Amino acid sequence: MQLLTRKFTVDQYHKMADVGILTEDDRVELIKGEIIEMSPIGLKHAATVKRLNRIFQQKLGNKAIISVQDPIQLNDNSEPQPDVTLLKPRADFYESKVPTPEDILLIVEVADTTFNYDRDIKIPLYAENGILEVWLIDTNHQFITIYRQPNKEGYQIIQTSKEIQNLSLLTFPDVTISTSEIF
């Protein structure tokens, strides 16, 4: 038999940070009640995130807040830290609120060693919690999968950059990004 580890709520997870059981230096995220140690970020991964940050800044300006490797709260037991999150503008830059699904326009996950985990665990979790659009970037094979139309069972539309060369954002259809800019 498989023994079960204790699961935690978002409130308990925050309390651990409040009392110093977890610190700001801990690279962890809460996924379905489990506190997961995030894998070390490789150079290619880091560069891709930096490039995306610049691309989104240039193309979107003040139309969105770009959040890099910061927490978002999906529900009562999941608080992941996506690589890039595009958030609806908010005067206080989310100083008084952890972003929740209704604030989120796009999540980008960059995967090198964690591709299967991202695809099989995190993408369904984003769908279940109504995240409108997710891009999963596979840095090893240089392709992007675009997920749209979330429901409880998963995303209903899944396309890869092999089919579409110019990516556009669901919420900003006039903005296009070519895959060559990302890799």
Partner 1 sequence: MQLLTRKFTVDQYHKMADVGILTEDDRVELIKGEIIEMSPIGLRHAAIVNRLTNLLPKKLGDRVIVSIQNPVQLNNNSEPQPDVTLLKPRADFYETKVPTPEDILLIVEVADTTLNYDRDVKIPLYAENGILEVWLIDTNHQSLTLYRQPTKAGYQSIQNLDITHKLSPLAFPDVTINVNEMFGSAIS
Which of 57, 113, 156, 165 is close enough to bind partner 1 by CB under 8 A?
A: 113
Q: Using the rule CB under 8 A, is 8 a contact of partner 1?
A: yes
Q: DSSP secondary-structure letter at 169?
A: -
Q: Using the rule CB under 8 A, is 17 a contact of partner 1?
A: no
Q: Using the rule CB under 8 A, is 35 a contact of partner 1?
A: yes
| DSSP-assigned beta bridge partners for residue 154 | 151
Q: Which stretch binds partner 1 (CB under 8 A): 2-10, 69-77, 92-100, 125-133?
A: 2-10
Q: Using the rule CB under 8 A, is 76 a contact of partner 1?
A: no
Torsion of CA 109, 67, 51, 64, to 10 degrees: 110
Shortest Cβ 79–partner 1 spacing (Å): 13
How many CA atoms lie within 13 Å of 144's alpha carbon, on the beta-carbon side?
24
The angle at the Cα of 65, spanning 83 to 149, to the nearest 5 degrees, equals 65
Q: The dihedral of CA 18, 33, 114, 165: what is its sign? A: negative
Q: Using the rule CB under 8 A, is 41 a contact of partner 1?
A: no
Nearer to partner 1, 34 or 70 (CB): 34
